[in-house]
Amino acid sequence: MSSDSILTIKNLQFSYGARIIADGMDIDIERGKITTIMGPSGTGKTTLLRMIGGQVRPHAGEVRYEGKNIPDLNKDALLAARKSMGLLFQASALFTGLSVFDNVAFPIREHTQLSEQMVSHLVLSKLEAVGLRGAAELMPGELSGGMARRVALARAIALDPRLMMYDEPFVGQDPITMSVITRLIKLLNDSLGMTSIIVSHDVHDAMAISDFVYLIAEGKVIASGTPEELRQSESPWARQFLRAEPDGPVSFQYPATDYQTDLFASVE
């Protein structure tokens, strides 16, 4: 792990039964940068985030965060590591019975002994950062999908994480909201001195703000580089994914027996 890396994944091995998620995967996340991990649906991008956070243990390999191998940590050490991480869930995952203010206040109250006055100051500053200070008293059911995503982001940065992870932050958002979230990810990463990992298959928005990109498929990193390097890559995987071509290394057809054989078998 170099001095410029906050997270290093080496020879990662993991599968769900016969479905391979990681087969010797190596990834290096540079401190202070925005790194995007992209790949076709079902390649285990969200599972990778769960392994970084310690919710899932790899079968083999290392997930070294700030020099410590996450799978080796005991409960207290893992909790301490998680306090320095933030995660924006794909579905926002707000507490429906709590107001916007109390949703953002939740991790602060849970993990610190700060006075309510200080909690209030922190919550309002985080909501101001995502443009929703005026929505502090609203309930999650009163929010649009884009507003809910921004409240979830305010909650994720409540404890000023050193590593921020975004699980498909652009999914299901209208173009204006996608632009807002893209700008917020870049702004918060730079202004708060964070390191950000984005898991996404949205090529345009993710590439626009990324410093480095990993493209994964079949359990391996099949291409990596800066956005410009990937755009010029001769890798058939990279070309198919970045150009949204329907067929290539990722086949349109799911593996199956011979079509004619299936047809005649169904007649019999």
Over the stretch 152-163, which tens digit does the pLDDT of each residue have?
999 999 999 999
Higher pLDDT, 257 or 183: 183
Pairing outcome for strands 68-69 and 60-65: antiparallel
The whole-angstrom separation of Cα 225 and Cα 35 is 10
Pairing outcome for strands 60-65 and 195-199: unpaired
Position 248 confidence tier, pLDDT thresholds 50, 70, 90: low
Q: What are phi and psi of 122, to 5 degrees?
A: -65, -45
Q: pLDDT digits over 21-72, tens only?
A: 899 999 999 999 999 999 877 788 899 999 999 999 999 999 999 999 999 9
Cα distances (angstroms) measured from residue 170 to each of 94, 117, 127, 177, 245: 17, 34, 19, 8, 21
Q: What is the average pLDDT value for the chain, to the nearest integer?
A: 89
Position 250 confidence tier, pLDDT thresholds 50, 70, 90: low
Q: pLDDT digits over 193-210, tens only?
A: 999 999 988 888 888 899
Q: Do residues 79 and 89 make contact, with C-beta atoms less than 8 angstroms apart? A: no
Residue 262, pLDDT above cutoff 90: no
